Structure 1
Amino acid sequence: MAFGTAPPGSGAGEVDRILDRRRLRRKLAFWRVFGALMLVGLLAIFAGWWSGEGVSRQQPHVARVFLGGTIRAERERVEMLDDIAKSGARAVIIAIDSPGGTVVGSQALFDALRRLNAAKPVVGVVEGMAASGAYIAALGTERIFAPRNALVGSIGVLFQYPDVTGLMKRVGVSLEEIKSSPLKAAPNGLTPTPPGAREAVASMVGDSYAWFRDLVAERRHISGETLEKAADGRVFTAHQALPLGLVDELGDERAARAWLAREKGVPEDLGLREWSTGRSGDGFRWLHAAAAGLDGLGLGAFARFIESAGEAATVGRLDGLLALWHPRPGE
């Protein structure tokens, strides 16, 4: 093998230029793919928005409201429900897929749905889950439909706080506090919970639970042993919930439309309009639309992962008494 002078253009500089061009091509390819994915997602979101806006608010239509994610402060959604009452909607479908949320937010939805139902037929359709606070909202509708294996119930109230006193003791940290009375800011998880504080919280939980239970008894016309079983805190499949009176009929939105046509004279082919507040808290509806658009590219799981993370972050921001079904991993 002979060694000699490299021919012009074949030195290290040329190799560097070739490598630079390859790196540039890879970067361009990445940004092209990223741009295409963003375009697909935006088109999916726009398509969902356009389909819901195709019918004017004052034209006769069936209004559809998605109640998803974690229920919390509901001012925007309550205002939207009040607006639907003044619209051209002939009937309203509340599509529910939620584990619940705060008791106050759930009660606000219930009250708004009762006002709306005074003006128009309102039915609830459980798309996946109507548990705890979401079931409170469902009670505000005139009739509840649910597919056989949907989850409903979890009738109960919850107050949780972490107890980190053991950890503080282990690391040698203690809390000094001066307060106006023994029950001020108790329980807080940073000091042992005194019996009086535990009793005070139990009293609040019991009071809200009694309200929830009475609401179920009134709206679903159940009592006695049936109410005892229905309101013991567990969730039921719709198939189990039907004989308890927690749902009216096994079926999806098509069953609801058939009932509205049969009982309320609302044609099954009447146009559907999706109503939304436009906020991300509406069950992260925009991510549902984006996931649908990205599924074709194999990235739907990524969008749903982001959606789940957003829901988990929302649960962490909830304060006060909760009507929420959120099983721990492994349960």
Structure 2
Amino acid sequence: MAMRADDLIDRRRLRRKLTFWRVVAFLVLAAAVIAFSTWVYDDNFTGQAVPHIAKVKIEGTITEDEELLKRLEAIRKSPEVKGVILSIDSPGGTTVGGESTFEAVRKLAGDKPVVAEVGTLAASAGYMIASAADHIVARKTSIVGSIGVLIQYPDVSGLMDKLGIKLEEVKSSPLKASPSPFKPTNDDERAMVRKLILDSYDWFVGIVADRRKMTHE
């Protein structure tokens, strides 16, 4: 049966209208998804809008993580978060990173109960952060502890000698820029580094002793 010209035109108009509304519906849906995602992942949002327990993962090498610190603060301020689980699996990291996270967790624990859950490992700075919680829960095979401070630096002076490279320097004091990878350390430089290590170690042990209700020894 042959189609009339008017019918053909009407069908084309209907298709255009359907296409238009499909595009509109898609755009509305996309906007809704974006708005919801922004709401969920906004820095000020910490989870569901109902009372709940927040879980924060702390994994890998610990550094001064601004995003983690912001999240801990947002959780502290959220009236819907009734408690926090720190899931820790870390070999440690920098002293500053451990200290900043420790302080953030202690501040959080002042307002909400905090429990540290240890996976495979919570060593060094990882243990420091765990000790900031009200309780530590670990498996029998978890590795927890390793209180200590380490400074490592290379000595490439032998390689420089082989390459015929010499280093000249002018310093304002004998220990400036020490230890240097370009020359072996002398007794004074090693003593200076050791003092830094022992100062940090005493501070670390003091934190753990206070939190675990143990003596410094």
- State the TM-score bracket (shorter-chain normalisation): 0.7 to 0.9
Paired position in structure 2 for 1:114: 106
Paired position in structure 1 for 2:201: 209
Structure 1 contact 58–89 (Cα < 8 Å) conserved: no
1:61 maps to 2:52: yes
The one-letter amino acid of 2:183's match is: T
The Cα shift of 1:56 comes to 4.2
Distance 1:56 1:191 in 2: 53
CA offsets per residue over residues 62-83 of structure 1, 9 Å max, x none?
A: 1000000111112221111011
Unaligned runs of 5+ in 2: 1-36
Paired position in structure 1 for 2:68: 77
1:165 maps to 2:157: yes
Tell me the SS of whatever aligns to 2:170: coil
1:109–1:161 Cα change, 3 Å: same
Structure 2 contact 105–129 (Cα < 8 Å) conserved: yes
The Cα shift of 1:198 comes to 1.4
Tell me the SS of whatever aligns to 2:54: strand
Of the candidates 103, 115, 123, which is equivalent to residue 115 of structure 2?
123
Structure 2 contact 121–144 (Cα < 8 Å) conserved: yes
Structure 1 contact 96–125 (Cα < 8 Å) conserved: yes
1:142 maps to 2:152: no
Paired position in structure 1 for 2:95: 103
1:151 maps to 2:143: yes
CA offsets per residue over residues 175-231 of structure 1, 9 Å max, x none?
A: 1112222111111110121222211111111101000111111111122xxx65xxx
Root mean square deviation, CA, Å: 1.8
Unaligned runs of 5+ in 1: 1-48, 229-331
The one-letter amino acid of 2:120's match is: G
Distance 2:171 2:140 in 1: 53
Distance 1:64 1:56 in 2: 9
Paired position in structure 1 for 2:24: none
The one-letter amino acid of 1:177's match is: E
> Structure 1 length as normaliser, TM-score?
0.50
Distance 2:98 2:154 in 1: 24
Higher RCO (C-alpha under 8 Å, 6+ residues apart): 1
Distance 1:118 1:71 in 2: 23
Structure 2 contact 64–101 (Cα < 8 Å) conserved: no
Tell me the SS of whatever aligns to 2:109: helix
Distance 1:58 1:82 in 2: 17
> Structure 2 length as normaliser, TM-score?
0.75
CA offsets per residue over residues 160-183 of structure 1, 9 Å max, x none?
A: 100111222233222111222211
Structure 1 contact 132–154 (Cα < 8 Å) conserved: yes
Tell me the SS of whatever aligns to 2:91: strand
Distance 2:105 2:186 in 1: 40
Q: How many pairs align?
A: 174
Tell me the SS of whatever aligns to 1:67: strand
Of the candidates 67, 82, 89, which is equivalent to residue 90 of structure 1?
82
Distance 2:47 2:54 in 1: 11
Structure 1 contact 71–105 (Cα < 8 Å) conserved: yes
Distance 1:56 1:104 in 2: 28
The one-letter amino acid of 2:65's match is: E
Identity %: 46
1:174–1:59 Cα change, 3 Å: same
